[in-house]
DNA sequence: ATCAGTCAAGAACGACCGTTCCTCAATTGG
DNA sequence: CCAATTGAGGAACGGTCGTTCTTGACTGAT
């Protein structure tokens, strides 16, 4: 019984993730969310409890639906080198929210810190499988993050990471 | 004539940079600044014009007094490898404000974007001088940034970058 | 000693923050 | 078809935001 929901919860989370990926947490107001998500304040608080609750839902969705698939592909692909190269391409948006979460939310929110720490370990593991020397995986994960980070400031060569990757591959086992 | 200033402008800028390096721009309030800097609101607006004005002054000071010396040392040192290794060590705080500026201010503030783009080019140039293959410098700069980024989320091995560096050096010309 | 000029001190501004409340519309089980 | 239940709508809450104004204390030149 009762009036049925007039919005798709997953779509709302997806749109929230997009918004939180573009600006810092404190830079996204509840008014912004209500306006761009098309959901009423009341429903938003009913479903997610708070702005932080919606943020955490958006972050979890992003890690599960945007980041994890990329890692799964890297783990199962027949051509790991191509997968790595794709990750090292900076003109993508499948790590933006993760980077913003690491830089500005993790230091202030333990739950965010735990979430991103877990996913970064997964990235390390996936990257390691595609490398001649597994020990450099954490550093290469950092390179991936750093290239995306640079892209946010504009003016980065999209294939800067490819050069490093070839250097590593040509020298490794 | 007039009453002399009761605070050291440089010290205020330095303290502001420290605060802006620890939290996102919108997470630092003018009240926070007034309290921890020990400067009165009035003086702050008189000298810097606005919160953004103080932020830009802090960023410029940080880039000139904290980042540039590291690059200068890397350019002039007799042991470039050691300098690079130091930069690849993640438990330092001489890039925090730069990273935060790149991630969350540059996309929203053109002046910040220009400042950090310039300094990133300087980092590339300094790093390139210390490498066997100059072309991988932008990627290694990204690695440096990425390692510091990961350090903000906690639980990173401080020497993760060293492994990559040795890998590169042992294989290059 | 006086006066112009600068700074310190803190109250106060309107705007916006995240959150809650109240009322009405829509739906389904009886 | 009516009662019960839930979402939508929008005003409103206290608090905090960045910024400004008013007042008085201090200083150096006249």
Q: Write down the ipTM of this complex.
A: 0.91
Q: Taking a C-beta distance cutoff of 8 angstroms, is the pair B24, B100 a contact?
A: yes
Which are the contacts of A130, defined by CB distance < 8 A and separation ≥ 6?
A74, A80, A81, A83, A84
CA separation for the pair A150, B143 (Å, rounded): 11
Query: Residues whose CB falls within 7 A of nucleic chain D?
Result: A 1-7, 39-43, 46; B 1-4, 26, 28-32, 41-42, 45, 50-52
Which are the contacts of A4, defined by CB distance < 8 A and separation ≥ 6?
none
Is A43 inside any structural domain? yes
For residue B5, name the pLDDT band (cuts at 50, 70, 90). Answer: low
Is B126 inside any structural domain? yes
Strand C proximal to A24 Cβ, under 7 A: no
Model pLDDT, residue B155: 74
Residue A53: nearest nucleotide (C-alpha to C1'): C18
Per-residue confidence in pLDDT tens, chain A, 173 aa: 666 777 889 999 999 999 999 999 999 999 999 999 989 999 999 999 999 999 999 999 999 999 999 999 999 999 998 889 989 988 889 999 999 999 999 999 999 999 999 999 999 999 999 998 999 999 999 999 999 999 998 877 778 889 999 888 876 54
Is A151 inside any structural domain? yes
B-contacting residues in A 17-76 (Cβ below 8 Å): 22-27
> Nearest residue of A to residue B155 by CA position?
A117
Is A44 inside any structural domain? yes
Q: Taking a C-beta distance cutoff of 8 angstroms, is the pair A3, A43 a contact?
A: no
Residue A16: CATH number of its domain: 1.10.357.10
Give the torsion through C-alpha atoms of B84, B88, B92, B96, to 10 deg: 100
Is B3 inside any structural domain? no
Within 8 A of A164 by CB-CB distance, chain B residues are 136, 139-140, 143, 168
Q: How close A47 comes to chain B (CA, Å)?
A: 26
Is A1 inside any structural domain? no
Within 8 A of B27 by CB-CB distance, chain A residues are 24-26, 104, 108
CA separation for the pair B170, B56 (Å, rounded): 41
- For C28, which residue's CA is nearest its C1'? A1
Within 8 A of A113 by CB-CB distance, chain B residues are 153-154
Is B86 inside any structural domain? yes
Q: Taking a C-beta distance cutoff of 8 angstroms, is the pair A128, B133 a contact?
A: no
Model pLDDT, residue A1: 65
What does the pLDDT average to over B36-44? 91
> Residue B142: exposed, middle, or buried by beta-carbon count in 10 A (0-12, 13-18, 19+)?
buried
Model pLDDT, residue A113: 96
For residue B173, name the pLDDT band (cuts at 50, 70, 90). Answer: very low
Domain ranges, residue B79: 9-171
Q: Between helices B110-129 and B68-76, what is the axis angle to 10°?
A: 20
Q: How far is CA B168 from the centre of its chain?
A: 25
Is B61 inside any structural domain? yes
Look at chain B and report how many structural domains it folds into.
1
């Amino acid at each position: 019984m009762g009036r049925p929901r007039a919005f798709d919860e997953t779509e709302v989370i997806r749109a929230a993730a997009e918004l939180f990926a573009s600006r810092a947490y404190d830079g996204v107001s509840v008014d912004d969310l209500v306006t761009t998500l098309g959901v009423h304040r009341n429903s938003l608080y009913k479903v997610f409890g708070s702005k932080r609750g919606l943020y955490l839902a958006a972050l979890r969705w992003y890690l599960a639906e945007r980041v994890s698939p990329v890692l799964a592909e890297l783990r199962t692909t027949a051509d790991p080198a191509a997968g790595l190269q794709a990750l090292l391409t900076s003109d993508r948006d499948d790590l933006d929210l993760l980077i913003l979460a690491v830089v500005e939310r993790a230091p202030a929110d333990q739950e965010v810190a735990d979430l991103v720490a877990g996913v970064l370990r997964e990235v390390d593991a996936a990257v390691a499988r595609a490398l001649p020397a597994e020990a450099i995986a954490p550093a290469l994960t950092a390179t991936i993050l750093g290239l995306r980070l640079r892209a946010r400031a504009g003016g980065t060569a999209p294939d800067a990471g490819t050069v490093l990757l070839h250097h590593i591959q040509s020298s490794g086992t």
